[in-house]
Chains A and B, each alone.
Chain A
Amino acid sequence: MSKELIRLADCVMTFDDEVVLDKINLSIRDKEFLTLLGPSGCGKTTTLRIIGGFQTPTSGDVLFDGVRINAVPPHKRTINTVFQKYALFPHLNVYENIAFGLRVPKTDARGNKVKLSEEEIDRRVMEMLEVVNLKGFERRRTTQLSGGQQQRVAIARALVNQPKVLLLDEPLGALDLKLRKDMQNELKRIQKAMEITFVYVTHDQEEALAMSDTVVVMDSGRIQQIGSPEDIYNEPENAFVADFIGESNIIDGVMRADGVVEIFNRRFQCLDGGFEKDEAVDVVIRPEDVDIVPEDQGQLRGTVTSVTFKGMQYDIIVDFYGFKWLIQTTDLSPVGSRIGIKIDPDGIHVMKKSEYSGLFGDYSSYSEEYEEISDASFEEESGDEE
């Protein structure tokens, strides 16, 4: 495991008495791809801006390589940013946009101002153009480029300065789905090739899972969970994480013993332990972990109330004792039919009760809500405005 590069220690951020970040503790390692994931207004962009130096935390420390950098302005940090909507300079062409950072005089160790030679600038700009596949576009105006091309210019403009850390603020938010997938791969490739740390902000959980080494799930200015994509998906800390990452049925349960959880008065085998005896818990069951069996062979029995064809599978909503589950299956069970289900022990994940218990994981109002969530429109976080 590589060494720690950035640490946020007890960072608190308030705007006009409104707490935007509440005691954030975060460690970012060298060369890792870390994603801050959460819904609009969760504080992820504010966290990014604190790392970039655009905002100073109300309290708490920001450490870079072990040195406190709270008061260091952005232009003195070896960190570069790819902004929302790119923020390319409209009056400069592609070449000059990328060369912008290189043309700024730097101060060397002895305090002298140093400027890069034109040859050096040219070499590095051309190199970056190659990295982002934009050779031949040097003299274009940025306003004449497509969204994806502008995106690449923004990345090249940041990377040409050879930062230790690249911050990316919803960089793919304005692109269409197909292009977004391509750019995800592209970003991953660039990060591997350049061997630098990426801190990536998104509200798209699929993007987060697909690209990251570490995912930080945030909500209401607090970190809900930090972990690898697999950890986050398979072992969510609480109902919020379980719901935000993928689809989840979250059911009230009682832990009867290690490895035994009771749902709807039936006992299920599970792999979790370490709870008090008879502790009330939230039980997460992913839609794809449920097997449909004939009614009489099921651990639970219910009625199919809705079926949606999704291409690779059907999403069916099944009513179990008044609680509606989402089940993904390749076998069609028509609406109204009675079915049974079986859940393997590794398909059950038990979580401690939290403030989010009871808020998520019921699919009673499935059709509208589901579509709405997966389509969550891109909004700026409230904290940035003023």
Chain B
Amino acid sequence: MKTQSRAGSRLIIGLMFLFLYAPILLLIVFSFNAGDSSAVWKGFSLDWYAKLFQNRIIMESVYTTLLVSLLATAIATTAGTFAAIGLYSLGRKKREALLTVNNIPMVNADIVTGVSLCLFFVAFFQGWGSFARWFNSVQSAVELPDRLVLGFGTLLLAHVAFNIPYVILNVAPKLRQMDRNLMDAAQDLGCTWMRGFWKVMLPEIKPGIVSGALIAFTMSIDDFIISYFTAGSASSTLAMAIYGMTKKRVTPEINAVSTLLFLSVLVLLVASNVKEIRQEARDRRGIVRQPTALDQLRLKLAEPRFRWVRRGTAAVLACAFVAAVVFLSHATGSRPVVNVCSWGEYIDEALIEQFEERTGIRVNYQTAESNEALYSLLKSGGADYDVVVPSDYMIGRLIEEDMLEKLDYSQIPNFSEIDSRFQNLSYDPANEYTVPYAWGTLGIIYNTAMVDGEITSWSALYDEKYAGSVLLINNSRDAIGEALLYLGYSVNTTDEEEIREAYDLIADANRRGVFQGRVMDEVFQKMEGGNAAIATYYAGDYISMLENNEDLAFVIPEEGSNWFVDAMCMLKGAPHQKEAHMWMNFIASTDANLANMDYIGYASPNREALERYPAYYAERYGEELDPGLYEIMAAPAEVLERCESYGNLPAATLNLYKNLWTQLGVR
């Protein structure tokens, strides 16, 4: 019995650890995958690590994350430690009350903290703006900036704010354990309070401070939600960069950076634990540690005659730290800048460097994860972008709400290269606001090995024959749009009857168990790994899936489909309008369009680039581009004729979409 139960508990513990560590192990394994799939193993390679260090968005976000975490940890640890000491000089009742207050932010939902900080900052900026304008109007000696925006400063403040309670929580128990007479004793022996703090209190509470700092640091690195609401447009942390990629797909570089992050935390943890265990063993055995060479050096340096060496070193280190901070936060100082917000993995990053080299303008490239998220970010007033790249229907909405600035096309000569098919589209009929960036189509992706014959109609999505192996796209506009097309209606219909009919079609298929689930990004894994037979997604992404699974096919159904255009626009009141025009002109060029089309797999709106792409491909890769693939990337005119782009729907229809989508209870 006994051995049995022991074996049982071992099994449970084993399973528990497997459950905890298997996902991380998988992540580490796939960081060495030669392919870009997270489902198919293509052999060992260090490519993703090499690419990681060239991926500008990720690297910049890693810098931001480290910088903000280190600074926030340093500030919060100092402030939190002194706050805890202050708490302990108060009476017991006041102390208990304040410690309870201190605990609330920690249990508070991050989203509440994030939103409230964002509101606070925006409100403060407004107040500051009025003050600064008044102040500048009454005197001219000092010019105060009157337009403050969310950015690195607010991000740092937010991190400091949410880290302080963790530091207090860790330092407080050490203070409670400490003999209250110790500080009296130090002062009794001639120390001022401050010297007593350094010589006696600090060594006593150091373990608490260190663990508080470690927790603060990890919380900072970890944080997404609060950062998301307070970072504004100019900076983004690693977590935000990863989230921004979800509109397209999470690249395996993320596996690499996560692996590095995990390993460094692991090393830190192991090192500190080993040190502690050794110290404990020494204490237990009463062994006095023999001074090592390092200790002897330390003792030597502690002698008064080396005072200048110590002070010099401290000064040099401090200067180096300040310099590093200044360098990292103002990497390019007063250079002109343009703030761009696009989607993750939606640009060939070499273009950014080319532009910077050519013009000397720094590109602050940020990403959002969806049109809707971008919209709410812009609405919140915290963003400070110059150029955004929303999709057609969202552009319509932004124009309608007067959030875009008219462009000066004389500054964008390359606009003439844009194919006339992509000019004067319905969302911007007079073409006053936009420069098209990329376009593509929505279609059915299916696994030929799992499906009989060819699929040509949207009906396959609702067919019981494929029960359990169809992936419904997790986006109400696309999912209901497909059903509308199948039923022969317009994707832009505002007729409630028609929309309800389309919804009923989906709901009915859902009841019959046709859908495996509602997915966005997961579609890559599921389709590449052969875990689902049929899905709907964008043509450009099909190309990258095909690289990992040759059985996949793409079709634009005979009923027609959606075709979309993403276009660059400039936000109302953008602070860097000249630079924004230069950027748009550069991106609209044929060369830039070719590079982007190759990198992201979406079709270019540049006439020449679109034509020249197969030649470009052949030259670059030394093999011919499969004409079938080219037709999928850039749907030919006769296919496009069948397709319809999304218009901006009235609020009532959007609401109907939202309500219906919520009703649909797919797993």
Contacts and interface: CB of A to CB of B under 8 A. Distances in A.
A101 interface: yes
Q: Would you list the 7 A-B pairs with minimal beta carbon distance, nearest first?
A: A101-B189, A87-B181, A104-B190, A91-B203, A87-B185, A83-B181, A74-B187
Interface string A5-30: 00000000000000000000000000
18 contacts: A74-B184, A75-B191, A80-B188, A83-B185, A83-B188, A85-B181, A87-B185, A88-B185, A89-B185, A89-B203, A91-B204, A100-B189, A101-B189, A141-B286, A157-B185, A158-B188, A158-B189, A385-B92
B190 A101 contact: yes
A366 interface: no
Nearest to A81: B188
Interface string A41-53: 0000000000011
B195 interface: yes
B181 A52 contact: no
Contact of B189 (A80, A84, A144, A386): A80
Nearest to B202: A91
B91 interface: yes
Contacts of B264: none
Contacts of B191: 75, 104
Contacts of A192: none
B283 A141 contact: yes
Nearest to A80: B188
B625 interface: no
B324 interface: no
B187 A161 contact: no
Nearest to A79: B188
A111 B111 CA distance: 57
A84 B199 contact: no
Interface in B167-198: 179, 181-182, 184-192, 195
B40 interface: no
A81 B288 contact: no
A93 B303 CA distance: 19
Contact of A89 (B200, B286, B304): B200
A81 B179 contact: no
Interface centre among B92, B181, B182 (most CB of A within 10 A): B181
Interface in A133-153: 139-141, 143-144
A90 interface: yes
Given A90-B204, A386-B91, A144 B286 contact: yes
A52 B189 contact: no
A89 B178 CA distance: 10
A54 interface: yes
A144 B287 CA distance: 10
Classify chain A's interface size. 20 to 34
B192 A81 contact: no
B189 A87 contact: no
Contact of A81 (B184, B195, B204, B304): B184
Nearest to B303: A118
Nearest to A104: B190
A352 interface: no
A90 B303 CA distance: 23
Main SS of chain B's interface residues?
helix
A386 B188 contact: no
A93 B286 CA distance: 12
Contact of B304 (A75, A106, A115): A115
Given A75-B190, A75-B192, A83 B304 contact: no
A208 B609 CA distance: 102
A138 to B, nearest CB: 10
A88 B184 CA distance: 11
Interface of A: 52-54, 73-75, 79-81, 83-85, 87-91, 93, 100-101, 104, 106, 115, 118, 139-141, 143-144, 157-158, 161, 385-386
Contact of B179 (A54, A87, A157): A87
Interface centre among A87, A115, A161 (most CB of B within 10 A): A87
A158 B189 CA distance: 7
Interface string B198-220: 01100110000000000000000
A106 B190 contact: yes
Contacts of A83: 181, 184-185, 188
Nearest to B92: A386
A282 to B, nearest CB: 40
A64 to B, nearest CB: 15
Contacts of B303: 118
B187 A73 contact: yes
Nearest to A84: B181
B203 A104 contact: no
Contacts of A54: 184, 187-188
B182 to A, nearest CB: 5
A115 to B, nearest CB: 6
Interface centre among B91, B188, B304 (most CB of A within 10 A): B188
Contacts of A81: 184-185, 188
B174 to A, nearest CB: 12
A93 B92 CA distance: 32
B510 to A, nearest CB: 66
Interface in B460-495: none
B286 A161 contact: no
B126 to A, nearest CB: 44
Interface in B90-114: 91-92
A85 B185 CA distance: 11
Given A74-B188, A386-B91, A104 B200 contact: no
Given A83-B181, A386-B91, A139 B190 contact: no
Contacts of B304: 115
A79 B195 CA distance: 18
A115 B179 CA distance: 28
Contacts of A93: 288
Contacts of A74: 184, 187-188
Nearest to B94: A386
Contacts of B185: 81, 83, 87-89, 157
A139 B288 contact: yes
Interface centre among B182, B190, B203, B304 (most CB of A within 10 A): B190
Interface string B550-580: 0000000000000000000000000000000
Nearest to B93: A386
